[in-house]
């Protein structure tokens, strides 16, 4: 058996990216509004992995919005799917909202991609922090300017089987 170092490197990058996100824990006793972000109107942090018959997925996000507009958000986003497909994306969050049902919509631009060339594309995802278990949507990708800010991900949701998310209260206080 001959090792393909390019494939090993890409697999390592995806696993490493998700590992950093999944292992990155907040300080003990930190509440959603007192850790790295300070006081936020809308905030989400954490990472979830989903292992199911439909595939293995991971989504990590650390983002906040403390302005008057959802587009005032900033933060980081990581997504990986099926380690065998050697795919993972990293992006910058530009929009973050929470709807009345507690669903968090996050969107922005991919700046790094492993396994396929998604860099420069817009992304959108939805995270349900209120459900038991928590869940996250598939990530919607599109050319720059084709995905409306904070419009959410695909209709398919993945249950979180490892990890989880913390978020600011619904009323933002």
Q: What is the mean pLDDT of the chain?
A: 79
Q: Residue 11, preceding bond cis, omega within 30 degrees?
A: no
Mean pLDDT of 59-77: 89
> Could you tell me if 52 and 130 are in contact, meaning their C-beta atoms sit under 8 angstroms apart?
no
Rounded to whole angstroms, the Cα distance separating 163 from 81 reads 16
**Residue 59: pLDDT band with limits 50, 70, 90:** very high
What is the percent of the chain with per-residue pLDDT over 70, rounded to a whole number? 72
Please check the confidence at residue 119 and state whether its pLDDT lies above 50.
Answer: yes
Q: What is the DSSP letter of 96?
A: E
Q: Please identify which residue in the block is written with the tokens 């795919």.
A: 87
Please check the confidence at residue 173 and state whether its pLDDT lies above 70.
Answer: no
Least confident of 3-17, 38-52, 64-78: 3-17
Rounded to whole angstroms, the Cα distance separating 2 from 138 reads 34
Please check the confidence at residue 39 and state whether its pLDDT lies above 60.
Answer: yes
Which of 5, 79, 70 lies closest to 40, judged by CA?
70
Q: Please identify which residue in the block is written with the tokens 């209709």.
A: 155
**Residue 37: pLDDT band with limits 50, 70, 90:** low
Please check the confidence at residue 163 and state whether its pLDDT lies above 90.
Answer: yes
Domain ranges of the chain: 5-167
Comparing 30 with 45, which gets the higher pLDDT?
Answer: 45
């Amino acid at each position: 058996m001959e090792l393909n170092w390019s494939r090993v490197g890409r697999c390592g990058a995806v696993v490493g990216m998700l590992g950093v996100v999944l292992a990155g824990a907040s300080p003990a006793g930190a509440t959603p509004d007192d850790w790295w972000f300070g006081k936020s109107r809308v905030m989400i942090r954490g990472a979830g992995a989903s292992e199911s018959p439909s595939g293995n997925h991971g989504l990590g996000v650390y983002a906040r919005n403390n302005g008057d507009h959802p587009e005032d958000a900033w933060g980081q986003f990581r997504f990986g799917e099926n380690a065998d497909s050697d795919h993972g994306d990293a992006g910058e969050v530009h929009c973050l909202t929470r709807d009345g049902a507690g669903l968090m919509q996050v969107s922005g631009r991919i700046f790094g991609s492993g396994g396929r060339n998604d860099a420069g594309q817009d992304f959108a995802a939805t995270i349900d922090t209120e459900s038991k278990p928590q869940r996250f949507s598939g990530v919607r990708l599109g050319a720059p300017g084709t995905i409306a800010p904070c419009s959410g991900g695909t209709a398919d949701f993945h249950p979180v089987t490892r990890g989880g998310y913390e978020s600011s209260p619904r009323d933002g206080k």
